[in-house]
Amino acid sequence: MNSPQTSSSMVVALLLLGLALLSAGQAQARDPVAGKIRAGMCATCHGPLGLSQMPNAPNLAGQPAIYLVEQLKNYRSGKRQNEVMSVIAKPLTDQEIDDLAAWYESIQISVTVK
Q: Write the DSSP assignment of 24-38 as a string of letters.
A: HHHSPPP-HHHHHHH
The three-class DSSP label of residue 86 is helix
pLDDT of 55-98, one tens digit each?
999 999 999 999 999 999 999 999 999 999 999 999 999 999 99
CB contact at 8 A, 53 and 45: yes
pTM equals: 0.74
CA angle at residue 23 from 21 to 25, to 5 degrees? 70
Instruction: Determine whether domain 29-106 maps to CATH 1.10.760.10.
Output: yes
